[in-house]
Amino acid sequence: MAGTGIFTDILDGDVYKYYSDGEWKTSSSGKSVAIINPATRKTQYKVQACTQEEVNKVMEMAKSAQKSWAKTPLWKRAELLHKAAAILKDNKAPIAESLVKEIAKPAKDSVTEVVRSGDLISYCAEEGVRILGEGKFLLSDSFPGNERTKYCLTSKIPLGVVLAIPPFNYPVNLAVSKIAPALIAGNSLVLKPPTQGAVSCLHMVHCFHLAGFPKGLISCITGKGSEIGDFLTMHPAVNCISFTGGDTGISISKKAGMIPLQMELGGKDACIVLEDADLDLVASNIIKGGFSYSGQRCTAVKVVLVMESVANELVEKVKAKVAKLTVGPPEENCDITAVVSESSANFIEGLVMDAKDKGATFCQEYKRQGNLIWPLLLDNVKPDMRIAWEEPFGPVLPVLRISSVEEGINHCNASNFGLQGCVFTKDINKAMLISDAMETGTVQINSAPARGPDHFPFQGLKDSGIGSQGVTNSINLMTKVKTTVINLPTPSYSMGEGFISRL
């Protein structure tokens, strides 16, 4: 159970502690932040509301711990990460339980998130050992006008303190996707978990604590993003920000100093369906892509753009599958569970009502109880409706009928977002051309958009992000290239003759 067994240290009465200097602490603020269970709408957990002084302290320690961590051999850093991954996987049950209670993620998917996170940490440790163990050796005489008098050695060095801010929907996975690359690369790490998802993150951090990482290297500051977010992101000790979330990321980018940013933001992933597509395959992918975790995924299918000639058939197939989706508590592994908050449910309802007023066809009756919204497919959506452009982050999916592929591509490219997209057709040549034309970071051919596997590059164009994720890209982003140049008094050509006379 959450907060028990090996996790008792992280709880003070009914409030979870924050993690600083290798210890679990109670904030001097005397205040806590409530985490509301999305399904029951009652307070499930409480976390510390950390103060600015506590942030300052954490940053100070992160700076100093990083200096000795950078001198820790790479294989030792990897060994500790493997240990943390094993502890995390061994303790998947209480962590998954917190995910169920604080973000209403179905129980099975919650376990999957924790196991996937353990695998990501291990993969990162292995990849780090390989790519950080290699450098480059360059010779000066390849550039015009130069003799071979300079040897240039390159290696990758850490940036310093990395600030990680994940969102509520994959709090554990999107936290470790920042923590593991930062640590293997020799950085220290300050985590600010999402409020909904904080308790799962605190359990995950305890697994790193138990693995034996040095004091101060990893810290976890809790509190509302709206209250301590700016102080954290503009803190002078921070050398890199890795953020995943919504538009908040855009304002952070504008305020952050001259430091590397990894921003994975929102999306409005389009699913373009051509006339020759396998409609059963499309329907299954629309269900998986549009309704998994109640549509609260950055890479959810968020708009279907289907050729008019096959639209009726596709809509019927999707409707039949929507009817089979189970709706209810996450503990019972229902497909559709409560969305994360009342404000989120109200926002989704606003999009639905706007579509209703403007004449969209409702394939199911709109139904809501508290934060629980029944899955809804909206057909005949037109570009003047908000839902054609905005990200509902809920189990509501618009279908726009198109009369040409160009119309679909234009709709996709007119969006402010450019995360992923997908195209369904049996013609691979056409699919490649459409992929080239779509202004998104990734295009999936004949499958719904997806962030994983976690070692694939993952990036958004336009308002969907800055930089690229995926294990290798994250390690590279959290390092800087350092070069040392050896200057020789005479040119040095390997296997050259006249060695003695040149000496």
Interface contacts to ligand NAP, rule CB under 6 A: 165, 167-169, 194-195, 224-226, 229-230, 233, 244-246, 248, 252, 264-267, 298, 391, 393, 419, 460, 465
Nearer to ligand NAP, 315 or 443 (CB): 443
**Which residue in the block uniquely carries the two structure tokens 């060095």?**
157
Q: Which is nearer to ligand NAP, 226 or 494 (CB)?
A: 226
Query: What is the CA 157 to chain-centroid distance, rounded?
Result: 24
Tell me how far, at minimum, the Cβ of 460 lies from ligand NAP, in Å: 5
Pair type for strands 136-139 and 188-191:
unpaired
Q: Which of 458, 444, 456, 464 is nearest to 271 (CA)?
A: 444
Q: What is the DSSP string of 260-329?
A: -EEEE----EEEEE-TTS-HHHHHHHHHHHHHGGGG-STTSEEEEEEEHHHHHHHHHHHHHHHHT--BS-
CB of 218 closer than 8 Å to CB of 191: yes
Q: How far is the CB of 264 from ligand NAP (least distance, A)?
A: 3
DSSP, res 417: E
Nearer to ligand NAP, 161 or 165 (CB): 165
Q: Which is nearer to ligand NAP, 419 or 434 (CB)?
A: 419
Taking the least distance from each CB to ligand NAP, the nearer of 288 and 358 is 288
Q: Phi/psi of residue 174, each to 5°?
A: -80, -15
Residue 35: which residues within 8 A CB-CB, separation 6 or more? Answer: 43, 44, 45, 46, 47, 102, 195, 196, 198, 199
Shortest approach of ligand NAP to residue 225 CB, angstroms?
A: 2
The Cα–Cα gap between 447 and 73 comes to 41
Please tell me the distance from the alpha carbon of residue 162 to that of residue 142, in angstroms, as a whole number: 37
Other beta carbons within 10 angstroms of residue 349's beta carbon come to 16
Rounded distance, CA 232 to CA 226, Å? 11
Q: Least distance to ligand NAP from the beta carbon of 369, Å?
A: 22
* Radius of gyration over every alpha carbon of the chain, rounded to an integer in angstroms: 25
Active site residue 264: yes
Nearer to ligand NAP, 118 or 249 (CB): 249
Q: Which residue has tokens 């995943």?
A: 244
Terminus-to-terminus CA distance in the chain, angstroms?
73
**Distance between CA atoms of 487 and 153, rounded to whole angstroms?**
11
In the bound state with ligand NAP, the residue whose beta carbon lies nearer, of 46 and 156, is 46
Q: Which of 113, 264, 390, 391 is catalytic?
A: 264
List, in order, residues 6 or more apart from 483 with CB less than 8 Å away.
Answer: 152, 153, 154
CB of 72 to ligand NAP, least distance (A): 29
Q: How far is the CB of 170 from ligand NAP (least distance, A)?
A: 6
Question: At closest approach, how far in Å is the CB of 236 from ligand NAP?
Answer: 16
Residue 418 dihedral angles phi and psi, to the nearest 5°: -160, 50
230 vs 427, which CB is nearer to ligand NAP? 230
C-beta closer to ligand NAP: residue 123 or 393: 393
Q: Are 155 and 119 in contact (CB under 8 A)?
A: no
Closest distance to ligand NAP from the beta carbon of 268 (Å): 9
| CA-based torsion, 433, 439, 442, 446: positive or negative | negative
Quote the least distance from Cβ 155 to ligand NAP, whole Å.
29
Order of strands across the sheet that contains 188-191: 23-25, 18-20, 218-220, 188-191, 161-165, 240-244, 261-264, 465-466
Q: Which amino acids are annotated catalytic?
A: 264
